[in-house]
A and B are shown apart, each in its own frame.
Chain A
């Protein structure tokens, strides 16, 4: 383990916390606007938070298999769903 790794670990934890907080902001926006677009974004950010927590706890998580990036892709897919959903509804519209 080189001297980078403590800083790196700390940043992984800080990033996880930020993803969590931003996810909570989106939950709040979802509840006040009743627009499920924000729910999808919240899920993306909350899943990324969980992903980072796993990364912090099990550092081998990233070396062993690409699952860390598959989880990231899953979280991004919620963003895709949000965008598709927002554009689908605006076409049906009035």
Chain B
């Protein structure tokens, strides 16, 4: 496959991510979809505090990327809300390692106004895909 372009849907997904640890948490979930994660396991893998990991997981659940798993032990499991979202995360998993600096800059630089300003560029697309 030729190298992945940064489509506008993927760009928009990246803008919703607030920090690099959050992005890496999402990719952790994606890479081990059968595994049940909790605050401790995420915190350990990403070198963040349990509290931060908990906050990130709440946000990831709210975004429809994972869901609560109440088995034994309880935790969170990878469950993208739609196939499009799952595809986008798969694309992100390919794109991110190859464009580390670009994605990091996008996340760190004023993510909120980015997604709004991006609408200016998107206005010029003749065919609104989706």
The answer to whether A and B touch in the complex, with CB atoms under 8 Å apart, is: yes
- How many A-B pairs fall under 8 Å by CB? 51
B19 interface hit (Cβ, 8 Å): no
Chain A interface residue number, banded = 10 to 19
Q: Which residues of B contact A82 (CB under 8 A)?
A: 124
Interface of A is mostly: helix
Q: A92 contacts which of B5, B102, B106, B120 (Cβ < 8 Å)?
A: B5
Minimum distance in angstroms from A26 CB to a CB of chain B: 9
Can you offer 18 A-B residue contacts whose CB atoms are under 8 A?
Answer: A29-B117, A32-B110, A32-B113, A34-B105, A37-B121, A87-B125, A87-B126, A89-B5, A89-B7, A90-B7, A90-B129, A91-B127, A92-B5, A93-B5, A93-B7, A93-B129, A94-B7, A94-B91
**With A32-B114, A38-B121 already in contact, 19 other A-B pairs whose C-beta atoms are closer than 8 Å:** A29-B120, A32-B109, A32-B113, A32-B117, A33-B11, A33-B118, A34-B6, A34-B105, A35-B11, A35-B118, A37-B121, A37-B124, A86-B124, A87-B124, A87-B126, A89-B7, A90-B8, A93-B129, A94-B9
